[in-house]
Amino acid sequence: VTTGSDGITPRDGWSSRTAFILAAVGSAVGLGNLVRFPAEAGANGGGAFVLFYIFCIVLIGLPVLLSETLIGRHGQSSATESVRRMAAESKASRYWEGLAGLGVISAFMILAFYCVIGGWVLYYIGVFVGDLFTSGVTGGALAGMSAEDISAIFPALLENGLLMTVLDLVFVVITVYFVARGVSGGIEIAAVWLMPAFFILLLGITIYGAFGGAFSETLTYLFTVDFTKLTPDVMLAAVGQAFFSLSLGVAGMITYGSYVGRDVNLAGTSAIIAFADTSVALVAGLCIFPIVFAAGLSSEGGLGLMFDTLPHAFQSMPAGSVIGLAFFIMVGFAALTSSVALMEVPTSWAMEKFKTRRMPTAIAIATLAGLLGVASAYSMNALSGFHPLGFIPLFEGLGIMDTLDSVTAKLFMPIGAILTAVFVGWIADKRLINGENGLDGGLHKLWLFLVRWLCPVVLTLIVLFGIFG
Ligand code: PHE
């Protein structure tokens, strides 16, 4: 039995395999699936992007997901310590733990701006709660507002640094509430309650939206593959999105894997997690685009797809305010189970590093992430002229929030994933790997080939293309 940070009591862990699956799916399913996937698919030409995305999940994402969970399960401790243990048992340099250290930093950086966006979601929940009273339940949402009025909601929010700060901090507090209560008593509880509720809302809204008339248009849009649209840029976007969506490269799945019992088959479980995450991304497309197309709106627009286009679309939809409210509550649930995962990574690292108890450690991490979040919130208004890494051409002209996003997405996450694949594929003792991954025969060989060759090569190309392309 491994002990917790006090060295005496047994280490906390998932109470069952189902709890692990729900928590890992909760980590994977988030703003990435609901905001970024539809926006990227929309911006990158639909079907070609979607097909290549699925290809990336299966051949690159899934092998790395299994690599991360097996490092964690083997180590039964924080991400860095788990890598260090596997390295020591493989007689390799202890510096490999740096791959997890990089992940811990990335998770913290993403956490900071993720909670700001979580705050936006809270704002829209508020807008649609208020709207229930003004527009009523049967008619369209935002009754009496002109198209210009609706278009002004999102920019007005982004201008309001104070409001964003308050909402960000509320989101951080909700997140730390679950993290501070521990793995089985907090993180798991959030996943076990919120994920089923999320699935019900997603299916309900999708089915309702499908009757709006634009469902076949959406199918054509998402699944007609035009290979001329598969440019290097589109491929790059697809790989990056696949990694972000599966929560890879930030030591998150090493951390969650470290709470998994010895009896769980990791290969099968990882496949379930990847399947669920990808299904949610696709269903999110089938949920959002019919609503957008039925209102005659455009599928492009990045973050604006959710925070600007959809509110317009809810206006012309029967029972629009109810659907709008349900929609943003659903997004909030997904974002929360992901922010919990992001906060758990630095929390579990710090608990072990400084031998501290969970509650104060989680609160300290939350406070720091909150502060960086405040800076991010103001980077869209008062601080918009401040470009922290502006002296590096790659990050020129980016404010605080965009810098956090870019540095992690373009460099830290793919580099973390390359190191993970190389470590598991080449460095770690094969007997340790065989004992953990739950694979044998041809599948084991295929997996080993993917982590040794395909993942590092493709990911290195991604990093280089991101820098020089
Ligand atoms: N996978 C999450 C999403 O799609 C984001 C995330 C990344 C969560 C890394 C945890 C760790 O929104």
The pLDDT, as a whole number, for residue 443 is 95
The pLDDT, as a whole number, for residue 441 is 87
Give strand pairing partners of 10. Answer: 3
Give strand pairing partners of 358. Answer: none
Binned at pLDDT 50, 70 and 90, residue 44 comes out as confident
Q: If you measure from the C-alpha of residue 246 to the centroid of ligand 1, how many angstroms do you get, rounded to a whole number? A: 7
3-state SS assignment for residue 10: strand
How many other CB atoms are found less than 10 A from the CB of residue 173? 13
Gyration radius from the chain CA atoms:
22
The pLDDT, as a whole number, for residue 390 is 94
For range 24-48, the mean pLDDT: 92
Contacts of 358 (CB under 8 A, 6+ apart): 5, 179, 180, 182, 347, 351
Q: If you measure from the C-alpha of residue 94 to the centroid of ligand 1, how many angstroms do you get, rounded to a whole number? A: 27
The closest alpha carbon to 319, from 464, 212, 430, 172, belongs to 212
How many other CB atoms are found less than 10 A from the CB of residue 16? 13
- Alpha helix positions (H), 302-454: 304, 310-315, 320-354, 358-378, 400-406, 413-422, 430-437, 441-449
Among 36, 245, 303, 333, residue to substitute to test ligand 1 (most atoms within 8 Å of Cβ): 245
Query: Residue 236 corresponds to which tokens in the numbers above?
Result: 């790059």
What are the pLDDT digits (tens) for 400-431? 999 999 999 989 999 999 999 999 999 999 99
What value does the mean pLDDT of the chain take? Answer: 94
- Cα distances (Å, whole numbers) of residue 31 to 107, 166, 246, 338, 374: 15, 20, 12, 8, 19
Helix then strand count (H, E) for the chain reads 23, 0
What are the pLDDT digits (tens) for 435-445? 888 898 899 99
3-state SS assignment for residue 3: strand
The closest alpha carbon to 253, from 384, 130, 379, 424, belongs to 424
Query: pLDDT higher for 174 or 394?
Result: 174
Q: Please give the single-letter amino acid code of residue 451.
A: V
Among 53, 179, 247, 331, residue to substitute to test ligand 1 (most atoms within 8 Å of Cβ): 247
Q: If you measure from the C-alpha of residue 276 to the centroid of ligand 1, how many angstroms do you get, rounded to a whole number? A: 14
For range 196-210, the mean pLDDT: 96
Among 342, 343, 413, residue to substitute to test ligand 1 (most atoms within 8 Å of Cβ): 342
Q: If you measure from the C-alpha of residue 253 to the centroid of ligand 1, how many angstroms do you get, rounded to a whole number? A: 10
Query: Residue 446 corresponds to which tokens in the numbers above?
Result: 């295929």
ipTM of the complex: 0.98
Write down the CATH number for the domain with range 17-468: 1.20.1740
For range 126-144, the mean pLDDT: 91
The pLDDT, as a whole number, for residue 120 is 98
pTM, whole model, 2 decimals? Answer: 0.96
Q: Name the one residue in this structure whose structure tokens are 């600007």.
A: 308
State the first-to-last Cα distance of the chain, in angstroms, to the nearest integer.
49
The pLDDT, as a whole number, for residue 468 is 86
Contact 50, 321 (CB under 8 A): no
Please report the atom of ligand 1 found closest to the CA of residue 35.
12
Q: 391, exposed or middle or buried, with CB in 10 Å at 0-12, 13-18, 19+?
A: exposed
Query: Residue 37 corresponds to which tokens in the numbers above?
Result: 């996937």
Q: How far apart are CA 433 and CA 67, in angstroms?
A: 9
- CA-proximal residue: ligand 1, atom 5 (nearest): 247
Q: If you measure from the C-alpha of residue 415 to the centroid of ligand 1, how many angstroms do you get, rounded to a whole number? A: 16
Quote the longest CA-to-CA distance of the chain.
69
pLDDT above 90 (res 257): yes
Q: If you measure from the C-alpha of residue 133 to the centroid of ligand 1, how many angstroms do you get, rounded to a whole number? A: 34
Query: Residue 221 corresponds to which tokens in the numbers above?
Result: 């849009």
- CA-proximal residue: ligand 1, atom 9 (nearest): 247
pLDDT above 80 (res 7): no
pLDDT above 90 (res 130): yes
Among 27, 68, 282, 345, residue to substitute to test ligand 1 (most atoms within 8 Å of Cβ): 27
- Cα distances (Å, whole numbers) of residue 269 to 11, 14, 256, 273, 421: 22, 14, 12, 6, 19
What are the pLDDT digits (tens) for 163-202? 999 999 999 999 999 999 999 999 999 999 999 999 999 9
Q: Where are the domains of the chain?
A: 17-468
How many other CB atoms are found less than 10 A from the CB of residue 344? 28
The pLDDT, as a whole number, for residue 1 is 57
Q: What percent of the chain has pLDDT over 70?
A: 100
Q: How far apart are CA 84 and CA 391, in angstroms?
A: 35
pLDDT above 70 (res 61): yes
